[in-house]
Structure formats: C-alpha cells, structure tokens
Structure 1
C-alpha cells in the first residue's frame, strides 16, 4: 500500500473514530435518561458517564493533535480499554448483539486507526 493511500485510510478511520467517540462522549456528559438507565443496567454508577465522557473528549483531542506521541498511545489504549470493557459488560449482562455492536465498532476503529497511523505519529524505539 502506498504512503498516500495509507494516509488517506488513516484519516478516514481516525475521523470516524473521533466522530464516534465525540458523539458518545456528548451523550454521556448530557446524562440522557437512556444513558443513565444503560450504565446502571451494566452495574456502574451514574458518575461513570462523566468520567467516560471527559476522557473520551480528551482522547479525541490527543489523537487528532499533531505531536505528543506518548499521549496518543495512551489515548488509543484508553479507547481500547473503554470499548472492550463496554462490549464485555454488555455481553456479561446478556444484552442483545445490537447493544454490543456499537462498542465493537468503536473498538475496531480504534485498532485500525492505531495500526494505520503514519510514521510521524509513532514513537520511535
């Protein structure tokens, strides 16, 4: 795959990831009744919505802003843990696959964006 194609794919998946994380963060920060009910069904306290919402927005900023490579790695790791945890929580509670899929989609976008990131967005070891 050419460098140009890789860069286009990176930005395509990263922008979708950012949109998904931002939109879910806003819904969580607004504490819509459906979100409060859902988080309580999963066995988590309502204040988790604030924690998740704030960290997701900060993660989106970290992923999109140039430089701060170590911070980007932490943001991707946070997205991975939040979305895999959400998927596992839904599965454990016996929720239908339609409740699990959004988490798996964002988890997939996280992995693809991380994998496709250009060299100038990777830590050199």
Structure 2
C-alpha cells in the first residue's frame, strides 16, 4: 500500500469525527457495562428473554468497561484493536440475539447504535491509535 497524504482539513475532520464517535461509544459502553454489572432488573429480564444466563451480564460488563479503558488510553494499539473487535462481536451478537427471539424493533436500537459508533470510531481512528499505520 502507498502512503497517501491527506489535506489538513480532511485530517482535522477525521479527528473530530473520531472523537465524537469515540466519546459517544465510550459513554454507551460504560453506561451499559455499569447497568449490567449491578444487574438492574431490566437488564436481567432482557438477558433471560434472549436466552442467556444472568451471569453473562457480569462477563459482558467487565469486558465493556475494560474495552472503554483500552480505547481511551494512549498507546497499546493492538489492545485497542481487540477492544473494537470485542465491541463489534458483542453488539452484532446482541442484534442477532434480539432478532432470533423476536424482540421488538426498539430493542435493536441500542445495540445497532453502538455497533455503528464502533465502526465509525474504528474507521476514523488517528494513525497513532492504529496498529496498522505506516510510520
């Protein structure tokens, strides 16, 4: 692959898009992680509706919170890639689980939004946060 030089305004907009998506993604993952960690009644009900054991909430919560930390701290680009992959798998799995058990369409909104934010944040991440950048 060749190194392409982007205009400054394009790079600036990419950083703005990255940080907006990343902040919203982090807030979404952190808030759902906390709600799952404390096992709020609504989350327990949702977990049972999609057919997963309640202890799965704790596993998801811990990985979401650690994933947010990984994405926000500087350096460790490989760990960031793993966090993005984990978010992608968790949210796509949530979407398919809701579809498979016949959940209402509104139940798809949260995981779909977080999936889109994951993709946008990953795509627009700066070179210093990208394991595959050419330096």
What's the RMSD between the two structures over aligned residues? 1.0
Whether 2:49 is the aligned partner of 1:41: answer yes
Instruction: Tell me what 1:77 maps to.
Output: 85
Instruction: Tell me what 1:62 maps to.
Output: 70
C-alpha offsets along residues 52-82 of structure 1, whole Å, 9 cap, x if unaligned? 0000000000000010000000000000000
- Quick one: distance in 1 between partners of 2:31 and 2:132? 32
* Moved beyond 4 Å, runs of 4+: none
After TM superposition, the score normalised by the length of structure 1 is 0.97
Instruction: Tell me what 2:32 maps to.
Output: 24
Q: CA deviation at 1:113?
A: 0.2
- Quick one: distance in 2 between partners of 1:93 and 1:18? 27
> Structure 2 stretches of 5 or more lacking a match?
1-8
Bigger Rg over Cα: 2
Whether 2:105 is the aligned partner of 1:97: answer yes
Q: CA deviation at 1:124?
A: 3.2
> Structure 1 stretches of 5 or more lacking a match?
none
Match for residue 52 of structure 1 among 60, 80, 84: 60
C-alpha offsets along residues 63-117 of structure 1, whole Å, 9 cap, x if unaligned? 0001000000000000000000000000000011100111000000000000000
Partner SS for 1:44: coil
- Quick one: distance in 1 between partners of 2:10 and 2:109? 31
- Quick one: distance in 1 between partners of 2:79 and 2:68? 11
